[in-house]
Chains A and B, each alone.
Chain A
Amino acid sequence: MNAPNPALPPVLQLEQVTRNRAGRPAVRDLSLRLHAGQILGLLGVNGAGKSTTLSLIAGALVPDRGAIRLLGKDFLEQPELARQALGWLPEAAPLWPELTLREHLNAHGRLRGLTGIRLKEAGDAVLERLELKDLAQRLAGVLSQGQRQRLGLACALLHRPALLVLDEPANALDPVQVVALRNLLRELAAAGTAVILSTHQLSEVTAVCDRVAILHEGVLRYDEPLPADQHAALEKKFFDIALHGKAQAT
């Protein structure tokens, strides 16, 4: 696990965040810290509040209560922080089907404040890194699921964010691409990017994350570092919480 630098503020800090959906709390009193270089795996059964949590962190939803700080600054008071500091890949990688891959990157880059040669270079770099260069002029509407997912990831990575928020990033990827994704995440973390990823797959978490958090019915039930070779222990912890709702709050 990458040891957090105490001199620096956490990249992401959630304080008592609550968000109701359809009249019931989807996320309740959630507090969380994530430092540069950490990869946090967010686990939970369907409806546990994972996607709501990620939407809150990404700024797509506003919390009913609580504070979200990005690089020490209140994200809700300074939403423009998101432009440079945050990259988000929602579940199922939403795209504009009538635009090409290059046009997607250009649009995302401009929305994040990149222009001119910086935009071109950043676009070339992510296309190369995610092996999408040959598809640059292809329309997003005709891409396979795996290619769509990689394009969504490219858009999230384009501006080299300090915090990368990924919702089911390995969805629809083949085994080779899954390994490539794991390598990419490790590489980003080594370079100081904080990563939070939500997944249903415990193997994804044990393979790449150095910390794990488990949400159940909108409440954070577990948040601990994940030492190597702890797959069996994590599996037991997850099913205890998912099936019986029992765990020690941290």
Chain B
Amino acid sequence: MTLFAVTRLELRRLFVRPLGWTIAALALAELGWRFALLLQIFLLNQVRLAALPDGPGYTDLVAVRLYSSLITGSTLPFGVTELALLLVPLLTMSTLASERNSGTLPLLFSTGLSPSSILLGKYLAVLIWLTLWLLSVIVLPASVAHGVKLDWGMLGAATLGTFLALAVLAAIGVACSAFASHPAVAAVAAFMIGVALNCVNLGAQLAGVNIGFINWLAMSTHQENLLRGLVSSADVIWFLLAIIVALALGIRRLAADGERG
């Protein structure tokens, strides 16, 4: 299928550009430092925690906290989700905006590919890149699994939640790249939409107001359940809906390119 030809082309472009490697290296370095600090704090409090009945363990205090700072209430900055808010737009900004800038987008259209094949092919490539990045992050908490009691079920749910959050941010990033005429504009737009979607309920929460719809709208609400180990179809459906809406808007914009020129 030529959709996979687009995926292969985009993956190749992602892997040969220094930006992708720089992003991955800086993010892994920050997460490694975060993991070391979380592990140190856990080890210092291990005796006290062991005395608590049903107290939090390694999975709650180290592994899951690696995924998000904001949601888990960690005092250390930048978990995977917070880093992704910044890094995913940088990764996705060139997917379509630079093709439009350099004139290669009409070439893709001339191969008979539909706008949906082009956009989904590119989205799939970004998703593969992000999956590899997430797998390399999981290695950190799993590396000490032999010496601690790791709750694989909870880690699995948290990883699923983080993967879905990355998938939503990637869909938003690719859609913004489809709309923007310049990669930098796409990155800024994707960053702002990602932050807004993640924190839309924060103001209401700080004010002590519980507004159901705003809470439902926020990505953090749904990711929080998964980070706690609770996998519910309602949360998974929210993520899928967000991905579908973002990609559908992107496809619509790309189709207009062929019609408007």
Contact = CB atoms under 8 A, between A and B. Distances in A.
B136 interface: no
A154 to B, nearest CB: 13
Nearest to A75: B112
B114 interface: yes
Contacts of A110: 2, 5, 8-9
Interface residues of A, number: 30
A83 B110 CA distance: 8
B59 to A, nearest CB: 40
Given A58-B106, A82-B110, A107 B12 contact: yes
Given A103-B12, A113-B2, A96 B102 contact: yes
B103 A94 contact: yes
Interface in B81-135: 102-104, 106-114
Contact of B261 (A61, A81, A98): A61
Contacts of A59: 109-110, 112
Interface in B1-38: 2, 5-6, 8-9, 12-13, 16-17
B106 A83 contact: no
B258 interface: yes
Nearest to A87: B110
B9 A111 contact: yes
Contacts of A86: 110
A92 B103 contact: yes
Contact of B107 (A79, A90, A98): A90
Contact of B12 (A61, A81, A99): A99
A111 B106 contact: no
Contacts of A80: 112
A99 B13 CA distance: 7
A58 B12 contact: no
A173 B16 CA distance: 29
B54 interface: no
Interface in A13-69: 19, 21, 52, 55, 58-62
A82 B12 contact: no
B106 A99 contact: no
A11 to B, nearest CB: 16
Contacts of A98: 13, 16-17
B253 to A, nearest CB: 15
A85 to B, nearest CB: 9
B92 to A, nearest CB: 16
A150 interface: no
Q: Among the interface residues A80, A88, A111, A113, which one has the most CB atoms of the partner chain B within 10 A?
A: A111
Contacts of B106: 55, 58, 60-61, 90, 94
B108 A111 contact: yes
A225 B112 CA distance: 31
Given A58-B106, A90-B107, A111 B16 contact: no
The 7 A-B residue pairs with the shortest CB-CB distance in the complex, in nearest-first order = A94-B103, A60-B106, A110-B5, A82-B112, A79-B112, A58-B110, A111-B111
Interface of A: 19, 21, 52, 55, 58-62, 79-83, 86, 88, 90, 92, 94-99, 103, 107, 110-113
